[in-house]
């Protein structure tokens, strides 16, 4: 099927290059409908079929964008059957869009097996990126460790012992250099934060991000030892959907506000003496022993 080109679309987007039908893996909003990209909306209108995790839920989205595509079920129990049908449609020349209930398909959602099967028979697969809870949480975590690397760990097992065993495995894999990203549902957030504190220790920082893109969106960074207190401080804190980011152990929040009075006085004096910022940080470090990054940042702030 031919895809129309919207005025804002560059002529060289993947669907316009080459011929033949395509399986589009389309990200949908995780709460805020405005996060559906114009390209995603166009593709949902242009394809003949939409393969959906939940057809009733996706019907609402299709109505919203004015799509009349036919739907087929692609939930986790029917990935194989869905892949067969999709392959038939593609072979007949009809493009198909694959969506999950929310966010990016195949990220803790069905889709991976379908994509693998479609690739195996040689059809084109094109990703249409958009909302993903993990990416949204990472973007607001403020990770500053070298390389900024992270591991997506998804959902943890529900049974306590199994959860602790799996967590210990993730801890070993992340080592000192990587952040870890978990998904969690509201009814298990309490147990999961407890398990995280048991395995990573009370000192380790976590970002608790809930209801991302929604009205009651909230994100807070705090040591795991304080997480349960935060959770229980307000009944709203335990509601909604969660992403948890465990910071690498070495990473400290920028210590700008954490300079003690003496270090602050040294930086202030050197700045007032007109020294370049780098030199201020170097000299102040020698005099106070405080990490250079924090001193540099304080000098920048004073000069701003």
Of 21, 83, 134, 271, the one binding ligand SAM (CB under 6 A) is 134
Q: CB of 72: closest distance to ligand SAM in angstroms?
A: 19
Strand partners, 73: 52
Of 58, 67, 95, 104, the one binding ligand SAM (CB under 6 A) is 104
| Short-list 134, 242, 246, CA closest to 180 | 246
Of 57, 171, 214, 292, the one binding ligand SAM (CB under 6 A) is 214
Nearer to ligand SAM, 30 or 115 (CB): 30
Interface of this chain with ligand SAM, residues 78 to 97, rule: CB under 6 A? none
How far apart (Å, rounded) are the C-alpha atoms in residues 33 and 66?
A: 14
| Short-list 140, 217, 212, CA closest to 179 | 140
Cβ atoms of 138 and 144 closer than 8 Å: no
Of 13, 108, 269, 282, the one binding ligand SAM (CB under 6 A) is 108
Q: Any contact of residue 205 with ligand SAM (CB under 6 A)?
A: no
How far apart (Å, rounded) are the C-alpha atoms in residues 125 and 20?
A: 11
Q: CB of 282: closest distance to ligand SAM in angstroms?
A: 42
Interface of this chain with ligand SAM, residues 217 to 236, rule: CB under 6 A? none
Q: Any contact of residue 211 with ligand SAM (CB under 6 A)?
A: yes
Q: CB of 242: closest distance to ligand SAM in angstroms?
A: 5
Q: Any contact of residue 49 with ligand SAM (CB under 6 A)?
A: no
Q: Any contact of residue 133 with ligand SAM (CB under 6 A)?
A: yes
Nearer to ligand SAM, 205 or 211 (CB): 211
Q: Can you say whether residue 40 is alpha, beta or left, with left for phi > 0 and alpha for psi between -120 and 50 degrees?
A: alpha
Footprint on this chain of ligand SAM (rule: CB under 6 A): 30-31, 100, 102-104, 107-109, 132-134, 183-185, 209-214, 241-243
């Amino acid at each position: 099927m031919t895809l129309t080109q919207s005025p804002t679309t560059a002529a060289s987007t993947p669907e316009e290059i080459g011929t033949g039908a395509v399986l589009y893996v389309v990200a949908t909003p995780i709460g805020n409908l405005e996060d559906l990209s114009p390209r995603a909306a166009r593709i949902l209108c242009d394809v003949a079929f939409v393969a959906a995790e939940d057809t009733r839920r996706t019907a609402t989205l299709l109505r919203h964008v004015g799509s009349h595509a036919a739907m087929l079920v692609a939930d986790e129990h029917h990935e194989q059957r869905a892949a067969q049908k999709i392959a038939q449609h593609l072979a007949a020349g009809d493009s198909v869009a694959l969506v999950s209930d929310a966010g990016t398909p195949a990220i803790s959602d069905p889709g991976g097996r379908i994509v693998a099967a479609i690739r195996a028979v040689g059809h084109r697969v094109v990703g249409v990126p958009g909302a993903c809870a993990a990416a949204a949480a990472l973007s607001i975590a403020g990770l500053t460790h070298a390389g900024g690397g992270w591991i997506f760990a998804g959902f943890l097992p529900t049974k306590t012992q199994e959860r602790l065993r799996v967590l210990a495995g993730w801890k070993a894999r992340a080592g000192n250099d990587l952040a870890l990203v978990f998904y969690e549902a509201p009814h298990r957030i309490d147990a999961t934060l407890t398990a995280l504190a048991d395995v990573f220790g009370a000192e380790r920082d976590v970002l608790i991000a809930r209801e991302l893109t929604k009205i009651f969106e909230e994100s807070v960074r705090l040591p795991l030892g304080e997480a349960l207190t935060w959770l229980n401080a307000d009944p709203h804190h335990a509601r909604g959907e969660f992403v948890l980011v465990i910071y690498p152990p070495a990473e400290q929040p920028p210590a700008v506000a954490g300079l003690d009075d003496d270090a602050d006085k040294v930086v202030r004096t050197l700045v007032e003496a007109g020294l370049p910022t780098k030199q201020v940080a170097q000299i102040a470090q020698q005099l106070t022993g405080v990490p250079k990054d924090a001193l540099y940042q304080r000098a920048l702030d004073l000069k701003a």
